[in-house]
Amino acid sequence: MLEQVLYVNASFHTQWADRPRATALLTRGERILAVGAVDELRAHATGITATVDLGGATVIPGLTDAHIHTANYAREIAALDLRGTASLAEALDRIRDYAATLPATAWVFGGRWDFNAWDVPVQPDRQALDSATGGRPAALPSIDGHTVWANSAALAAVGIDERTPDPVGGEIVRDAAGYPTGILREAANDVLGAIMNSPEAGDLTAQLAEAQRRLLAVGLTGVHDFDGEDCLEAYRALRSEGNLQIRVHKAIPRVALDMAIDEGRATGDGDAWLRTGPVKLFSDGALGSHSCHMNQPFPGEPKNHGIEVIPYLELLALVRRAAGAGIAVATHAIGDRANQLVLDAYQDLVRNPLDAAPALGRAAVTPRLRHRIEHTQHLRPEDVQRVARLGVVPSMQPTHCTSDIPLASTLLTGRDLASYAWRSLLDAGALPAFGSDAPVELPNPMHGIHAAVTRQNRDNEPGGGWQPAERISVAEAIAGFTTGAAHASGEESIKGRLRPGMLADFTALGADPFTCRPEELRGLPVRATAVGGTIRYRSDD
């Protein structure tokens, strides 16, 4: 017989129109049996086996991070962290101290440096990195993950030298004599990425167990993961051990698409704990790396429109191949040109259904396959309506906006763009799904809710918010992490609301986000996190 648990002493915001507020919640097994008043539920329930006091918390539906790299996040917990360095010299000091703790033959992993924030904003090189790593190979992603800073030993380990051609969709930055500087952009990172995501970086299953604990502690009950097949295997291992405590919608990397099709995988397969997601494609790079694909060149770089990582005709073919196999597509697009091309590809799928597989062709343009744009950062104004009209999910990360304010204010000034346009997309009828893109940003969803509501950074600047017309309400921001995320994964019938029949996933907060001051949203504490009717995290407060 399934255990029935009554949760009391809390204010529940259900996001269910029939009963938006409640003071108690009753679960049976992994599902919600009823919501209402305490006396009402006690009077009508039978077989209550436990009562849990939530200490006056404010409870909202369980929060899902709709775009996160949990394997990268897990691997970086104990790795070198260069966030916040203010200069190349400070970064090198931190690298030197960290490298000295490693065996002489170990790789130096970690990174997250941001040359745009250094006192002299110039790209570093391999010689500088050589000086701090003591002969150890080092591969250090930038803050956005789209550039890798490698030293001479790392380049030699993967055979990159002056004769190595640039790969399609990538760039090996070279000095005046043609030798690699150590800066690798986009697809040029792949060969080092294979090492960074290998056992050289540690036991991923154990690392994910620790990452899962941290994600539960910030109120997350689920993730849409965009890392590789090794991450899938690690989650399967956690599941088989009985240690999977967070729900995972697991994307398929492009390199595994053919294998996934051969295996018969399709989006939505699996169960509520571990489910197959979309295939992840890349249309461009990132703003901070000056590699997002723009219609106009970057200031001072008249030949640089960014990088088209997957050429359009290849992108179109991949979209059709995936959709024809019942696999939704999630395409990374940051620049306005990249977003335009991705929408063109999705629109082509609507106009030209898959004749060779008519059933799947129909599925590709119905809610069964919800195609997504990951990041959706800078749109032509006319493309805002197109996102909504095509039913494309704008998968967005609000803290990218507030982190990028200095960059966007300088690199994109004067352009006719809808940037981080949550308000405009909602008004057009689109349903955004919110995430963090951790480890690029911290995975705390309250940071994202604060950013979406205020358009301000952690210091509540600028006053009034950046491009404040795009601010949204607290309810809309929470919806991005709940109902919006559930819609993106096709799970709105079981996730995103607190109502009978839904999964008993909820986040209990130490204050009410609907009544606190906007500047307090970022720091709201998590009292407890429940997944499947079981408290998986509870604070000591």
The model's confidence at residue 360, banded by pLDDT at 50, 70 and 90, is very low
Say which DSSP state 514 is in: T
Can you tell me the mean pLDDT for 356-373?
A: 58
Q: Looking at the predicted structure, is the pLDDT value of residue 366 above 60? A: no
In a domain, 6, yes or no: no
- Of 1-10, 335-344, 397-406, which gets the smallest average pLDDT? 1-10
What is the structure's pLDDT at 541? 65
- Number of domains present in the structure of the chain: 1
- Of 187-191, 370-374, 477-481, which gets the smallest average pLDDT? 187-191
Backbone angles phi, psi at 360, to 5 degrees: -70, -30
- Please tell me whether residue 430 adopts helix, strand or coil conformation: coil
What is the structure's pLDDT at 491? 97
Alpha-carbon distance 252 to 518, whole Å? 37
Token pair for residue 250?
Answer: 């697991």
What is the structure's pLDDT at 356? 42
Q: How many CB atoms lie within 10 A of CB 174?
A: 14
In a domain, 317, yes or no: no
Alpha-carbon distance 38 to 354, whole Å? 53
What is the structure's pLDDT at 362? 37
Can you tell me the mean pLDDT for 512-525?
A: 98
Token pair for residue 37?
Answer: 């008043």
Alpha-carbon distance 257 to 165, whole Å? 26
Q: Provide the sign of the torsion angle of the four alpha carbons 161, 167, 173, 176, taken in this order.
A: positive
Q: What tens digit of pLDDT does each residue of 280-322 get?
A: 999 999 999 999 999 999 999 999 999 999 999 999 999 999 9
Alpha-carbon distance 164 to 172, whole Å? 8
The model's confidence at residue 363, banded by pLDDT at 50, 70 and 90, is very low
Q: What tens digit of pLDDT does each residue of 161-220 get?
A: 999 999 999 999 999 999 999 999 999 999 999 999 888 889 999 999 999 999 999 999
Q: Looking at the predicted structure, is the pLDDT value of residue 364 above 70? A: no
CATH number for 194: 3.10.310.70
Alpha-carbon distance 161 to 301, whole Å? 25
On whether the CB atoms of residues 392 and 333 are closer than 8 A, the answer is no
The model's confidence at residue 101, banded by pLDDT at 50, 70 and 90, is very high
Alpha-carbon distance 347 to 147, whole Å? 31
The model's confidence at residue 505, banded by pLDDT at 50, 70 and 90, is very high
In a domain, 154, yes or no: yes
Can you tell me the mean pLDDT for 49-56?
A: 95
Can you tell me the mean pLDDT for 328-352?
A: 97
What is the structure's pLDDT at 46? 82
In a domain, 78, yes or no: yes
Mean pLDDT in the chain? 95
Q: What tens digit of pLDDT does each residue of 238-252 get?
A: 999 999 999 999 999
Q: Looking at the predicted structure, is the pLDDT value of residue 540 above 90? A: no
User: Which residue segment(s) compose the domain that 163 sits in?
Assistant: 71-199
Q: Looking at the predicted structure, is the pLDDT value of residue 49 above 90? A: no
Q: Specify which residues 171 forms β-bridges with.
A: 185
In a domain, 441, yes or no: no
Residue 287 to residues 146, 186, 238, 263, 384, Cα–Cα distance (Å): 9, 12, 36, 36, 19
- Please tell me whether residue 460 adopts helix, strand or coil conformation: coil
In a domain, 77, yes or no: yes
Q: What tens digit of pLDDT does each residue of 142-160 get?
A: 998 889 999 999 999 999 9
In a domain, 91, yes or no: yes
In a domain, 302, yes or no: no
Say which DSSP state 301 is in: B
pTM > 0.95: yes or no:
no
Question: Chain-centre distance of CA 267, in angstroms?
Answer: 18
What is the structure's pLDDT at 355? 57
On whether the CB atoms of residues 453 and 521 are closer than 8 A, the answer is yes
